[in-house]
Amino acid sequence: MDLCRFHYCLSRLIFISGIVFPVMVASIGVNYGQIANNLPLPENVVPLVKSIGATKVKLYDADPRVLQAFANTDVEFMVGLGNDLLAKMKDVDKAQTWVKSNVQAHLPATKITSIFVGNEVLTFNDTTLTGCLVPAMQSVHTALVNLGLDKQVSVTTAHSLAILETSYPPSSGAFRRDLTSCITPILNFHAKTGSPFLINAYPYFAYKASPKQVSLDFVLFQQNQGTIDPSTNLHYDNMLFAQIDAVYAALAALGYKKLPVHISETGWPSKGDEDEAGATPDNAKKYNGNLMKLMSQKKGTPMKPDSDLNIYVFAMFNENMKPGPTSERNYGLFKPDGTPVYSLGIALSNSTFSNTTSFGGSSGSSDTPTSSQGSSSTGYLTISSATTSW
């Protein structure tokens, strides 16, 4: 299939229940991981992102091929600075060099609005790495200030939900006591700079751990009786919103009631090993499809009804080089050839995609994708489950 044909097919209307899909979910974000050797070229990912109505993309590095491909598309980007670079980024000069080459060089054509420094650092149980996190965040922010970019590009970091000690009921949400001394400086940074608190939340893990105790309808946003928080009398009919509100409660308990919470990762695998309960195409379709429909209603959580939902679905593609159980390689909305993994309620032409020379990714044998100089995807190799009360 030639490139013109590719773009023509993607421009055809995509419907969910008779409504044009991009209109319904204009605020959706998507994670674009690249731990694979068979992915489409970045320029062919642009129409795919638009086909699902996504207006925001989260990268685990600052791959210049991707950032250049999305120039002048109006898609907002969150770029990542890998865990293995945190020690180096404590030096403001090195941080400024990184920002110049990985962020400033692509502005304003590509809308880079955020840098997340480190991924799930606090739950790696590496004290050296943890000690580098806040200094690295501060250096990157200082670099942005020096370059006059701090008003348009924020600095944050992404956390696993496992930083919570309790999450049920939502009003009792609290951070792990052993992490409080590490989390407080991060929260001070957010409060000072106005950046959001990022959390990776996967109801799938709660269901996988206790499929007989956890209601599948509750985790898949299906109709169910739900549960009532006895302390607030708030009603929850899905687990993700309950998890989000548990994070809000944990923040409030430390005195940070006004910090916005964004969900930097959530998703459901379409395939898993025998012991991975619930990892099916039908469940993945229900989770992601229902989530997108819910976001289109522009409602907040029970605890924060007026707050916008800022959620990034994981992930664009199935990534064949990710280590771990089968589920790790099957979170994608799309297969590497660009066809949907499951329908998601979208009617696509069967001839929309073909695995031809229009596609092509890195062919190396490493576990990390080709990335820009000074960038890294270290830390994004497995999706960590959260050991919470759910």
CA nearest neighbour of 60 among 315, 246, 358: 315
Distance CA 42, CA 30 (A): 14
Residue labelled with tokens 């679905």 = 313
Candidate list 165, 265, 319, 328, residue with the active-site label: 265
In the residue annotation, 120 being an active-site residue is answered as yes
Length of the chain: 390
Distance CA 31, CA 122 (A): 21
* CB-based burial, 326-339: b 16+ in 10 Å, e otherwise: ebbbbbbbbbbebe
Q: Which tokens in the block code for residue 216?
A: 């599948």
Q: Would you say 354 and 306 are in contact if contact means Cβ atoms under 8 Å apart? A: no
Radius of gyration, alpha carbons of the chain: 20
- What is the CA angle 101-137-244, rounded to 5? 115
β-pairing verdict for 227-228 and 235-236:
antiparallel
Which region, left, alpha or beta, applies to residue 246 given φ > 0 means left and ψ of -120 to 50 means alpha? Answer: alpha
Distance CA 133, CA 83 (A): 9
- Rounded to 5 degrees, what are φ and ψ at 255? 95, 20
- Rounded to 5 degrees, what are φ and ψ at 143? -60, -40
In the residue annotation, 319 being an active-site residue is answered as no
Name residue 266's beta-bridge partners.
313
| Residue 348 CB partners (closer than 8 Å, separation 6+) | 14, 51, 339, 340
Strands (E) across 267-354 are located at: 311-313
Candidate list 120, 165, 319, 328, residue with the active-site label: 120
Cis peptide before 281 (omega within 30 of 0): no
Distance CA 41, CA 233 (A): 50
Q: Which tokens in the block code for residue 118?
A: 């480190």
CA nearest neighbour of 95 among 134, 69, 56: 134
Which residues form the catalytic set?
Answer: 120, 265
